[in-house]
Amino acid sequence: MKLRKGKQKFTQGLLPLWDHQCALCEINLPELLMATHSKPWKDSTDEERLDIYNGLLLCCNHEILYDQGYIAFDGSGKIHIASEIDITEYGKYGIHAKMRVNRREENKPYFKWHKRNIFRG
Ligand SMILES: [Zn+2]
């Protein structure tokens, strides 16, 4: 119960932070949006788990790409795309090399952690 309340609070805090839309492609149908952690739940301290700046609001496709390390963001918020995804296929995934997310300073350490530990490169 405590866990669920924490997650709910986390998601509720994330929505306005990312204008209720996918940080990457701006899809805004609530049913398609997912709150994800840059530094995953299992690797985070209790404090990091509930830190909304450890979170990112993404549509379901982009959430899985991020969660599985196919995409990452650097300190400036610029996208990095794993070499496993061929450049000619980017369009199918709704991504392109010049995308960036509107990150805040507080997102930086979490983006860096994700890029270093989860990104496939
Ligand atoms: Zn998206």
CA distance 28 to 19: 9
Q: By C-alpha distance, which of 104, 98, 107, 121 is closest to 39? A: 107
Q: How far is the CA of 29 from the centre of ligand 1 (A)?
A: 10
Q: How far is the CA of 6 from the centre of ligand 1 (A)?
A: 24
Q: How far is the CA of 65 from the centre of ligand 1 (A)?
A: 10
Q: How far is the CA of 86 from the centre of ligand 1 (A)?
A: 18
Which long-range CB contacts under 8 A does 63-68 form with residues at least 24 apart? 63/34, 63/36, 65/93, 65/95, 66/36, 66/114, 67/36, 67/40, 67/118, 68/120
pLDDT at 8: 86
CA distance 93 to 58: 13
Q: What is the pLDDT of residues 50-71, one digit of tens each?
A: 999 999 999 999 999 999 999 9
CA distance 9 to 39: 17
Query: Does the pTM of the predicted model rise above 0.85?
Result: yes
Q: What is the pLDDT of residues 5-47, one digit of tens each?
A: 788 889 999 999 999 999 999 999 999 999 999 999 999 999 9
pLDDT range class, residue 1, cuts 50, 70, 90:
low
Total number of domains constituting the chain: 1
What is the residue range of 70's domain?
2-117
Q: How far is the CA of 46 from the centre of ligand 1 (A)?
A: 28
Q: How far is the CA of 95 from the centre of ligand 1 (A)?
A: 8
Q: How far is the CA of 47 from the centre of ligand 1 (A)?
A: 27
